[in-house]
Amino acid sequence: MNKLEEMIKSVLPNCGLKANPHIESRIKHWTEKYSAMAEMLSTSGFGWDSDKKMLQVEKTVFDEWAKAHKKAKGLDGVLFPHYETLAEIYAKDKATGEVSESFVGAIDNMNVEIANQSMTIESDEDGYMDSPTHSTHSTHQQLNPISGQ
């Protein structure tokens, strides 16, 4: 989380965002909202409108559900444009046990892997990046993913 805080600070130096409480509270908020949506969508009577990015459910069905599931409050009729992205992050089939990693741990590990890798960029003799119109006579160049050099 501290790495994320540093990255935000480098782009927005005067924003004052901190890993705790700002970023962690947003992660908690989105985890709760995603969990409530996923639980509803796994129940008969609830559907997902991928065009409108919102829950599809009859008002009476939602109202009954919300009485017993307080975290669902306020999700009826509300756009939820990041549901698919959050589904990739918070999917129920994530690992458990001693070899599993948390969401924050996964981000930290990805940052370490990215920092330790170099990327191969292909370009032709004129300096164009490999594309359908410029794909001949390519040469390879190793770039550091962080600095781009």
Q: pTM of this prediction?
A: 0.52
Report, in this order, helix, strand and coil percent for the chain, each rounded to 5.
45, 15, 40
Q: Tell me the β-bridge partners of 56.
A: 47
pLDDT band at 41 (very low <50, low <70, confident <90, very high): very high
- Tell me, what's the pLDDT at 63? 94
- Tell me, what's the pLDDT at 66? 93
- Tell me, what's the pLDDT at 1? 66
Query: DSSP secondary-structure letter at 78?
Result: -
* Least confident window among 6-15, 47-56, 77-86: 6-15
> What is the CB neighbour count within 10 angstroms for residue 87?
15
pLDDT band at 88 (very low <50, low <70, confident <90, very high): confident
- Tell me, what's the pLDDT at 136? 45
pLDDT band at 113 (very low <50, low <70, confident <90, very high): confident
Q: Longest C-alpha distance within the chain, in Å?
A: 66
| Per-domain residue ranges of the chain | 2-116, 119-149
- Tell me, what's the pLDDT at 5? 72
